[in-house]
Amino acid sequence: MIQENSSNIITTQDFIEKGFFPKELVPAFTTENLADNLDKINSNIQNPSKKSSKFLSYSFPKSKYSRRILGIPNPLHQVVLCNFISQEWQDIENFILSSPLCQQSPLSYKRRAVSSYPINLPAERAISSASHRYRLYTDISRFYSTIYTHSIPWALHEKQIAKANRRDKSLIGNQIDEFVRNTQDQQTLGIPIGPDSSFVIAEIISSSVDKILTERLKSVPQGFRYVDDYYLYFNSYSEAERALSEINRILQEFELEINSSKASIVELPEPIELSWVSEIRRCPIGDDNSLEQYNDILTYFSKVFEYSKLFPDDAVIKYALSRINRTDILEKNWKLCESFILQSIIAAPNALIVATEILLKYSEKYQLNLEKISETIHLILLQHSELNHSHEISWALWLSKTLSIPIKEEVAKKISHLEDSIVALITLDLNSSNLIEGKIDFSLWQSILTIDHLYSSNWLLCYEANIKGYFPQTPQNNYIENDDFFAVLKQNNVSFYDGSKQIKLENNDEEIDEEEIDDEDNLGYDSSGFWFWY
C-alpha cells in the first residue's frame, strides 16, 4: 500500500532530546541540556575543526547468551547529522512512507523523536494470512551492524545514479553517508545502534528494498514488513520461494544478508503466539486474598523459571516481571515476591530495568530486605565486571544508588579497572555520595581526562568528569576551554549526567499495549514479542 504524505516536522531538538541516548541507559544520562542550547551550539559548528570522532560503546544483553553493542556518538557530529536529517525530513519521511510493504502509519513520534509505530503483531499476522496457504518470514541479519554507509545514496537515488555521482553534495544520500561516517571515525561498515538517526537510515534502506522487491515480483504481495521483519503470504510454495530468493538477491545488492537461521516458509494455519507467552498469561495473580495470591506467585514463578530454561533466547523473565510490575502485591506476600525478583535479575540481567522500577515502587510501601538486595547487587557486579558488561554493571550500581546501598571496597576496585564511561560516571557519582566503601584508586579514569579523549570513545567521561569536578583541579584540566565545541557546552552548563533523575513509575491502572515483535535490531523491541514499558 502507498502511504499518504505526513505533515510531521522533526526538528534537531527532537532528535537530540528524545532520540540521541539509548533508552537502556540509567535515567541519570540525559541530553536535555544539549537540546536546550542548540541555537548557541549550532553557531559554532559550521566548520568543525574535528572532522570525525569515535562513538562510545554500551554492551546490552539481548538474551542470556547474546549481546548487542549500542553506540553513543560524539555530540558534535551527531548534532551535525541530525541538523541535516531534520532539514531534509519532509523528503526523507515521504520516501519512507512510500514503501508498499511497510505497515500503515509505520512511524511513531511519541516516546522517541521517531520510531516504529507499535502494532499488535499476532493480530496483524492473523489478518494478513486470511485466504492464503503459505507464510514467508525472514529478516535481515545483524542489520544495523552490517549497513554499508555508501548504500544510503544507493537507496535514495538508485545505485547506478549514486555510483556515478559519488561526490555530488546535492544528493541527500551522499550527505547522510558522510555525516554518519563522521560519527564513527570514518568507518563505512555499520551504523551506531541506538540513536533515532540510525533508525531513519535503516528505514530508508528497507523502504528501497521493499520497492525493488515489488517491482521484481510485478505485484505487491499480501503482508507487511515491520522494521526488518518480513511477513508475506502466498497461495503457492513456489511463489513464496521466489519472493525469498528475490529478497536475498536485493539484500546482497545492498551488501546485506537475510538471517538464514530464521528464514522460513510454512503452510498455514500456524500458531500465532509463542507457547510460553500463552501459558504465562493464563497464570492468575489475584490481589484480593493474601493466601490465594501467595500460591499464585509460587505457581507463576515456577512456570516462568521453567520456560526461561526451555526458551533461553527469549525474554521470558523480563516479560514475567513486567506483568508483576502491573500487579498489586500484598504486604504479606512481598517477601516471597521480592526473593523471586532477586533470583530473576541474577538469571536474566536484561530484566534489571523493570526490576529496579518494582523495587523502587515497593520501597515506598513496604520494608525491603536490603541485605539480600545488597548481596544480589554485589553478585551481579562481580560476575559482570569480569566480562565488562556495561548494562548489568551500570544498572546494579544505579540500584544501589536508588536504595542507598553502599558498594564494598573490593568490588569497587574491580569496577575501577574498567574503561567504560557509563560505568565510570555512575561509580564516581556514588563515590561523591559516600556510597563507595574505602578509598578507591580511580587513576585509570583520571588519565582519560585529556583533550585527546574529547573525540575518542571516552568522550563522555572526559567531558562530564571535568565539569562535575570529580578529580582535583590542575593546570592540565583546562583542556575543555581549548576545544571550540566542548568549550561552548561548558559555558552553557550543558551536562549529560544528572544524578537526581530517577525512573518514572508507571501507573498500574494504565492500559498498556504489550504486543511486540521478534526483532534483532530495533531496540524498541524484545525477542519475546512484547513491548516492555520502563
pLDDT band for position 528 (cuts 50, 70, 90): very low
C-beta separation of 449 from 465 below 8 A: yes
Residues 233-291 have pLDDT tens digits of: 999 999 999 999 999 999 999 999 999 999 999 999 999 989 999 999 999 999 889 99
* Res 142 pLDDT > 70: yes
Given its phi and psi angles, is residue 74 left (phi above 0), alpha (psi -120 to 50 degrees) or beta? beta
The closest of 139, 125, 19 to 527, measured between CA atoms, is 139
Beta carbons within 10 angstroms of residue 238's beta carbon = 10
Residues 492-512 have pLDDT tens digits of: 999 999 999 999 886 644 433
- Cα 183 from Cα 244, distance rounded (Å): 34
Q: Taking the alpha carbons of 55, 59, 63, 65 in that order, is the dihedral positive or negative?
A: positive
H-only helix segments in 20-150 = 32-36, 38-42, 75-87, 89-97, 121-129, 143-146
- Cα 405 from Cα 399, distance rounded (Å): 8
* Res 5 pLDDT > 50: no
- Cα 52 from Cα 387, distance rounded (Å): 29
Residues 210-238 have pLDDT tens digits of: 999 999 999 999 999 999 999 999 999 99
- Cα 419 from Cα 25, distance rounded (Å): 17
| Mean pLDDT in residue range 26-46 | 93
CA angle 363, 61, 355 (to 5 degrees): 10
